[in-house]
Amino acid sequence: MVNKVSDLVNAGVTAQIIKKYDFSFQKRFGQNFLIDDHVLGKIIDAALIEESDGVIEIGPGIGTMTQRLCERAGKVVAIEIDRELIPILSETLSAYDNVKIVNADVMKTDLAALISDEFPGMNVKVVANLPYYITTPIVMNLLEERLPIDSITIMVQKEVAERMQAGPGSKDYGALSLAVSYYADTYIAANVPPNCFMPRPKVGSGVIRLTIRKDNAVNVSDEKLMFDLIRAAFNQRRKTLTNAIANYSGLSYTKEEAAAAIQKLGLSETIRGEALTLEQFAKLADFLTS
């Protein structure tokens, strides 16, 4: 049995547990287990967890971070998609009475119902070491569902963390930057090299905290239209925004209508979408619907 606050965040111990359970890493789940204690501490500290908090952990793996979360939070619900990890988690978390292990796909889980059932009256935070291949869908699902959560602290591919925090005009700025900034304030807590994981990923990672806004960053009359405009702009980055809007299949505006709305913003009709702020996209949506 693994005791409380065991040294799971250690390559040797992780290897022993993997061997004991004859566990095989599944590429389709994007599994990379953290084996660096310093980085683990950075994630836990960045999440700002208090004793009264409830925590949803996505992808607990063998329970390395889950143990630390259990030590900090009032209750932890760990959602793990790989059924082969459930027996391991049952062992590594056996000393804790404030954790629930759920074998499920978080993208198919009713998180609003889970929060209502498992965390009544508690402030809820999400913490995760996310698989690179599905980072954006998971993050956007958490944000767009407008769940009653305070923050999302996640380990993601470094370039994705940078995109989430990027501003207008930078090479990393895009639809993800704008979507995240609409719902949350961002803080990059750490950069993490590949040697902190087993197996080693091919790229570096970053720890980023998204603090959910009480109110959205901008007011817009048609939120869907604003995000359609953003998608149009960044699906065709090399085109002018006028042409991008006119050519986007999800929109029905002519080039002339797009140009007129852009000019109302006080911008040139030859401007590209990557130069606009979130507030300007919101105003553009309002002009197009007025």
Per-residue pLDDT tens listing for the chain (290 residues):
444 555 688 889 999 999 999 999 988 888 999 999 999 999 999 999 999 999 999 999 999 999 999 999 999 999 999 999 999 999 999 999 999 999 999 999 999 999 999 999 999 999 999 988 899 999 999 999 999 999 999 999 999 999 999 999 899 999 999 999 999 999 999 999 999 999 999 999 999 999 999 999 999 999 999 999 999 999 988 899 999 999 999 999 999 999 999 999 999 989 999 999 999 999 999 999 98
Would you state the pLDDT for residue 4? Answer: 53
Looking at the DSSP bridge assignments, the partners of residue 190 are: 207
Q: CA 265 to CA 52: how far, in whole Å?
A: 46
Task: At 3, list the tokens.
Answer: 């005791």
Tell me the pTM.
0.92
Q: Which amino acid is at 95?
A: A
Would you state the pLDDT for residue 1? Answer: 41
Would you state the pLDDT for residue 27? Answer: 82
Q: CA 256 to CA 271: how far, in whole Å?
A: 14
Pair 57, 65: CB distance under 8 Å: yes
* DSSP H or E segment with residue 37: helix 37-46
**Structural domains of the chain in order of their starting residue, each with its CATH number:** 11-212 (3.40.50.150), 223-289 (1.10.8.100)
Average pLDDT, the chain: 94
Would you state the pLDDT for residue 238? Answer: 86
